Structure 1
């Protein structure tokens, strides 16, 4: 399982990962393996977000990934966050043994967003909706990558769907959710705007 997790970044379904470097690794007194990796990923932001963040952050970002391998509990846990926007989004991924069937592996993915110092609630809502929508749309591609890596290690044929098909589906879903987020943000802005009272003479 640990071998699969470390190979997830090195397959066709992770083309957005540009570089990968291990910057720290140690075994704790509790016999846990702790690893910190530095990743570089592509980062396409919508046009309205490019007005908020610097131009150099709208194309690529640096990611820190901390992972913990616990052989005693047979779990593998990772935490990832952007160095560029370290207070914006944090993602947690957990691999562990299924409590009912030990031959199965339980996978749990989570993501959460904080206010990250954004004072304007209007922009925060837009960023929150866009970030969570992108996270959800990427899960289909992430699962395909997991299947692909597992199939390669087992020496069997991988997923029948091509990367092009998966990427196209994820792009379409991301566009739909981003559009919905923009419309929702516009509605919030309209509702928050002061209403002018009408006077009749």
Structure 2
């Protein structure tokens, strides 16, 4: 059985502004559990979409009852893969995330789609979905319930973090265009990608979501 979560939010900012803030939302005072973020892959496709893969490390506090069941040396950090697709033609930003470790205890997959609102000017529509599962025999249900409650709490913090980034952008004079923000992010990613490539076989191309 999998726990499913879905909600829809209207953000009172233009799509370009929201996408710019997305790349600059860390660090912020509402996401102190996010420890690191690294770009491991990035390309612009022939149809002008920007594909990115990032690796995030976050703290992973277990509930007290779970700490009694699992080894004391279990990692208190969780590694998250984030694949994103910026489609400037259709004006959408799609984000897929999932955890790499602790997947037996709990797996959380999330999809967020930011779209330019056709009904409301200067508004961006966000649809967020999450699927939470656990493979711990006999305890999967309470673990999923805990995961769902934590996800709801974290997505509220995530929205506050995005609003914080939006406020910072609104304070800039002049406001940076989306193309400049993406260009800066791409240039910043080059050094990270080179260092990762020297330590391993090289960054792998993310799945081609459509």
Q: With the length of structure 1 as denominator, give the TM-score of the two structures.
A: 0.69
Partner in structure 2 of residue 177 of structure 1: none
Alpha-carbon RMSD across the aligned residues, in angstroms, is 2.0
Q: Between Structure 1 and Structure 2, which shows a larger proportion of strand residues?
A: 2
User: Does structure 1 residue 6 correspond to structure 2 residue 23?
Assistant: yes
Structure with the greater alpha carbon radius of gyration? 1
Q: Deviations over 1:3-46 (max 9, x none)?
A: 11111222121111111110000112221111000111011011
User: Does structure 1 residue 22 correspond to structure 2 residue 47?
Assistant: no
Aligned equivalents of 1:90 and 1:4: distance in 2?
22
Moved over 2 A (4+): 47-58
Deviation at 1:58, TM superposition (A): 4.8
Aligned equivalents of 2:116 and 2:73: distance in 1?
41
User: Does structure 1 residue 109 correspond to structure 2 residue 128?
Assistant: yes
Partner in structure 2 of residue 41 of structure 1: 58
Q: With the length of structure 2 as denominator, give the TM-score of the two structures.
A: 0.66
Deviation at 1:48, TM superposition (A): 2.6
Where do residues 42-121 of structure 1 align in structure 2 (5 Å cutoff)?
42-51=59-68, 53-86=70-103, 88-115=107-134, 118=135, 120=137
Gaps of 5+ in 2: 1-17, 173-210
Q: Between Structure 1 and Structure 2, which shows a larger proportion of helix residues?
A: 1
Q: Which has the higher contact order (CA 8 A, sep 6+)?
A: 2
